Amino acid sequence: MARTPVELAGAEPGPPFAITFDGRDVPALPGQSIAAALWAAGILAWRTTRDGGRPRGAFCGIGQCFDCLATVNGRPNRRACLVPARPGDRVTTQEGHGRADLAV
């Protein structure tokens, strides 16, 4: 009998809301990070490397690496695994380091 983490924890999350990723609506739940919402929607990459344009998404999931960088509400270099999803957030694919003045 397979049970989900929500069932095991007895969690009752609030109602879902929408964020957008590159103009596409993505459902999110209260308490989810942006990375978790994107993963749940089947989106595995939201950044490209500056050398070669290779896709990147969440790697460590705890904020130690920088693979999950995304542009959130026009602000580049946000670690999607650490940023809580908020209703109406606009997430866009980040190319490389986003902007030189905010590079990591």
Q: What confidence category does residue 103 fall into, taking pLDDT thresholds of 50, 70 and 90?
A: very low
Q: What structural domains and CATH numbers belong to the chain? A: 14-102 (3.10.20.440)
If phi over 0 gives left and psi between -120 and 50 gives alpha, with beta otherwise, what is residue 62? alpha
Instruction: Determine if the pTM surpasses 0.85.
Output: no
Q: E strands, 1-104, where?
A: 17-21, 24-28, 47-48, 55-56, 69-72, 75-79, 90-92, 94-95
78 against 9, higher pLDDT: 78
Give the mean pLDDT of the chain. 86
Q: For a pLDDT cut of 90, what percent of the chain falls above it?
A: 53
